[in-house]
């Protein structure tokens, strides 16, 4: 991935898609690395309510608290393509993403006709 990306606009807040095109969260924050004088490098994506704490002051902390505060770190090597969405190389459950949906699914499935 050598294309130049404007991180604030073209990466943060984008939809994450797993290898099977399942929507599994947003890019909520980034981990950057680099020593003084060196170029910064994106090493990971953070996804999940816990990441809002750092982004939006009191509102963000409140929203993170409501959301349960979990945050998942996805190493940059797992990113396949950055376009209108951020496409990942693995399935959501392998990366620890989409857990809310996976936990809720058995409950929804108790209602007849849920799988159609």
Residues 35-94 interacting with another protein (rule: CB under 8 A): 47, 52, 55-57, 59-60, 63, 83-85
Both tokens of 92, joined, read 């959501």
In angstroms, give the least distance from the CB of 38 to another protein.
27
Rounded Cα distance, 35 and 27, in Å? 24
DSSP 51: G
Instruction: Name residue 8's beta-bridge partners.
Output: none
In a 3-state reduction of DSSP, which class is residue 16?
strand
Candidate ranges 11-19, 31-39, 73-81; the one touching another protein (CB under 8 A): 11-19
Rounded Cα distance, 1 and 22, in Å? 22
Instruction: Tell whether residue 101 is a contact of another protein (CB under 8 A).
Output: yes
Terminal C-alpha separation, the chain: 39
Instruction: Tell whether residue 24 is a contact of another protein (CB under 8 A).
Output: yes
Nearer to another protein, 1 or 104 (CB): 104
Binding interface with another protein (CB under 8 A) = 9-10, 12-16, 22-26, 28, 47, 52, 55-57, 59-60, 63, 83-85, 98, 100-102, 104-105, 107-109, 111, 113-116
């Amino acid at each position: 991935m050598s294309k130049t990306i404007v991180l604030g606009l073209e990466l943060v807040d984008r939809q994450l898609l797993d290898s099977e095109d399942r929507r599994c969260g947003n890019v909520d924050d980034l981990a950057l690395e680099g020593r003084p004088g060196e170029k910064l490098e994106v090493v990971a994506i953070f996804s999940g309510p816990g990441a809002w704490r750092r982004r939006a002051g009191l509102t963000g902390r409140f929203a993170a608290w409501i959301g349960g505060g979990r945050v998942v770190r996805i190493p940059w090597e797992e990113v396949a393509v950055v376009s209108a969405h951020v496409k990942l190389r693995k399935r959501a459950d392998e990366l620890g993403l989409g857990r809310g949906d996976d936990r809720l699914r058995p409950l929804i499935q108790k209602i007849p006709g849920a799988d159609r």
